[in-house]
Amino acid sequence: MEQKNTVMSQMKIDYKLLDRVFEIIKHNKELDQSFQSILEEIGTFYGLSRITVCEYDFINGNPIVSHQWLREGCQPYFLNQNKKSELDFFESWNFDSDLYCFEDVTKIDPIDRLCYERLGIQAMVQCGFYENNQMVGMIHFDDCIQIRKWEKEVLDTLTILTKFIGEIIIHIRNKKMLQREIFYSQAVFNNQRLVYYFIKEDTYELVNYSAFIKNLFPNLKIGEVCYKALFDKDSPCETCPIRGLSKNNGRSSYEFYDSNNEAWFSITATSMNDMDGQKIYILGISDVTGFLERVNAKDALTGLLTLSRFEADASRLITKNSDKNYAFLYIDFDKFKNINDEWGYSRGNEILYHYAKISVKHLNSSELACRVSEDKFIKLLTYEDRNQLINRVIDVYGKIREHFTVNFPDVNPIITCGIYFLMPEDKVISMAVDKANLARKSIKGSHKSDIAIYDESFHRRVSKEIMIETHMHEALKNNDFLVYMQPKIDLKTQRIIGAEALVRWKLPDGKILGPMEFIPIFEQNGFIDKLDFYVYEKTFQVLRDILDTGKKALVVSINVSRNHLNDSHFIDRLNQLVKKYNIPNELIELEITESMFFKELDRLIYMIKKLREYGFLISIDDFGSGYSSLNLLKDLPVDILKIDKEFFMERKMNNEDKIVISGIISLAKGLGLKVLSEGVETKEQAEFLAENSCDMAQGYWFYRPMPIEEFVEILNES
């Protein structure tokens, strides 16, 4: 800009004005109050219309007009509120020097001019003032009457005066901010029961202390030794938390009981350097009686600790006995709800009470037990070596079982237990407890084992589950779930008459995950809903393509997860999808696994009937894998029975297997069902099934599950 002015090396100052300004300051004790007079003096001296001081208000974070002098009749200066912040404004102000001025507003850039004309300015000088090289404010000297030529002497004097005024403003502002800071921190110290004191490293001499301590010890003096002055001791307190500082990341606490006050106190130490760089300790004491009482509560039924108290005590014990090995046990009763339902709550409570009493009898003084809730307990035990602990647990188990057999012979309660051996890197008690619980869950209801130990395989399993849950959505979007087809064979003609759609997950490294690795997780987290419909859609697409090529129609089966049972829209959604690909419903077979028939049977039968009304085929999958009831078969409105592959796993079938299989086949056929055998792996099995009138088979002997393209190719060849 041509008006931009550079203050040249040699300054010309009007000392007369400077003297008058100093004079004003000299006669005003309060700097703050002298401002108005100074501005007036300058304004009158140079015949200006207005002087405005703009500052950045650091407390509220916005620009403000902090002082202003106006000649009579002149309108006040106001800040342009459109500017983002005055700080931006200051920064964008492109100075070559501390000063910007113009002599005639009509001669400046039209865009800039608008802003000045708005303020009635004809000629102007703007000077900035700085703190730590950052502009924190500026002074505007305006002439609103006429254009004017700014003499060098005027500009130099205004520059100097701005610097001078700026210094005063910054000084006053910093002082105010400091006073404010002191006011609020003192308010905290004086109004709270804060017991704080600062001591020197090594000597324990008091450097400072809070107002509350001063009230408690009116004669206390800086320089006295804390243990003598505050605790009336001749040497540092044994429990002083300073001792634990080096171990505990610069913070250490200790709780103690004060019998005089009948209260628990917690004393915390932290360290820091004082203003001279000398190390000092800050000690804070707080009354934690209320807190401890809250977590102190014992379980009303068993008298064991509550979980929160257990966690607090466990944490303290483990820290205190750092030379000992610890393990957490998570214990749960099997089907305790059934005990309550069958024998009543009071009998249930009695069992829990007895269990707690026996458990406590077998604890030593460095060990703990708590009741988490209902029939769940946690123990913290010490051990020499892992086998010794496992033997000890088995031994106590035996004693509990004996006790139960004698006292509750009719109920026969069973307990399962998960063990987690605490590692030095374990910091959070609740996480260690979770691991013991995870081990317990792995055997709950399995009837196989009473005790499970958390080991690396658990860790791997949990990490894998986390991996699966993290990537599932992305995998679905990227089409990483692949649909494989496994052909089904008509045992009479030995030709392909159908196929089952089976999902796979292709990982980024090319590895293929089988459905058993992720479907149970998806059934838990609900993602199975999305995945199944994805598989259904891919399957219907294939079927559509096959039909379009004019091939003989074939039935394709899809697996129905148990989650769909509770989805009232499942059938509608399925119908819509089938319609979208224009597939005749009778070409679609829905496989419902046998285990689904054990829960909510009525609901399932209702759904099956509905699906069959729409023309879908229904099969019972994995028949014979669980507690299948042949009796149930006659009540089930299904079309096909799929005999579970377990029967054919042993490559050579024994006679009993053969009898059972031929029995199932003839019974099912007697009921009008078609029968398919899954997992057929050998020629012998295939022949046996054909001889026994099994209609269809599916298995590696014929075809493995294969990618869609391969399946289409095989169909083309046959």
Q: Which residues form the interface with ligand C2E (CB under 6 A)?
A: 486, 502-503, 514-516, 519, 528, 532, 535, 559, 561, 591, 593, 621-622, 645, 678-681, 698-700, 705
Closest CB 681 distance from ligand C2E, rounded Å: 4
Rule CB under 5 A: say whether 142 interacts with Mg ion: no
Task: Return the structure tokens found at 504.
Answer: 């796979």
Q: Which is nearer to Mg ion, 299 or 622 (by Cβ)?
A: 622
Q: Which is nearer to Mg ion, 137 or 624 (by Cβ)?
A: 624
Q: Which is nearer to ligand C2E, 241 or 515 (by Cβ)?
A: 515
681 binds, among Mg ion, ligand C2E, none (CB under 5 to 8 A by kind): ligand C2E
Beta carbons of 127 and 155 less than 8 angstroms apart = no
d(CA 115, CA 96): 21
Closest CB 564 distance from ligand C2E, rounded Å: 8
d(CA 483, CA 130): 70
Q: Which is nearer to ligand C2E, 98 or 639 (by Cβ)?
A: 639
Rule CB under 5 A: say whether 559 interacts with Mg ion: yes
Q: Which is nearer to ligand C2E, 270 or 559 (by Cβ)?
A: 559
679 binds, among ligand C2E, Mg ion, none (CB under 5 to 8 A by kind): ligand C2E
d(CA 512, CA 509): 9
Q: Is 37 helix (H, G, I), strand (E, B) or coil?
A: helix
The b-or-e profile of 325-334 (16+ CB within 10 A means b, else e) is: bbbbbbbbbb
Binding mask 563-592 for Mg ion (x = CB under 5 A): ----------------------------x-
Question: Residue 268: CB partners within 8 Å, gap ≥ 6?
Answer: 241, 251, 252, 253, 283, 284, 285, 286
Binding mask 658-687 for Mg ion (x = CB under 5 A): --------------------x---------
Closest CB 717 distance from Mg ion, rounded Å: 25
d(CA 683, CA 648): 11
d(CA 525, CA 376): 24
d(CA 643, CA 202): 81
Closest CB 562 distance from Mg ion, rounded Å: 13
Closest CB 632 distance from Mg ion, rounded Å: 17
Closest CB 602 distance from ligand C2E, rounded Å: 22
| Kind plus residue range of the DSSP H or E element containing 195 | strand 195-200
Closest CB 647 distance from ligand C2E, rounded Å: 11
Q: Is 8 helix (H, G, I), strand (E, B) or coil?
A: coil
Beta carbons of 57 and 63 less than 8 angstroms apart = yes
**DSSP per position, 71-128:** -TTPPPP---TTSS-HHHHHHH---SSSEEEES-GGGS-HHHHHHHHHTT-SEEEEEE
699 binds, among ligand C2E, Mg ion, none (CB under 5 to 8 A by kind): ligand C2E
Of the candidates 55, 311, 622, 639, which one interacts with Mg ion according to CB under 5 A? Answer: 622
535 binds, among Mg ion, ligand C2E, none (CB under 5 to 8 A by kind): ligand C2E
Question: Residue 337: CB partners within 8 Å, gap ≥ 6?
Answer: none
Q: Which is nearer to Mg ion, 266 or 595 (by Cβ)?
A: 595
Closest CB 351 distance from Mg ion, rounded Å: 40
Q: Which is nearer to ligand C2E, 91 or 517 (by Cβ)?
A: 517
Q: Which is nearer to ligand C2E, 5 or 593 (by Cβ)?
A: 593
Closest CB 374 distance from ligand C2E, rounded Å: 33
Q: Which is nearer to Mg ion, 285 or 501 (by Cβ)?
A: 501
Rule CB under 5 A: say whether 594 interacts with Mg ion: no
Q: Any bridge partners for residue 382, and if so which?
A: 326
Cα torsion 386, 391, 397, 400: sign = negative
Binding site for Mg ion (CB under 5 A): 559, 591, 621-622, 678
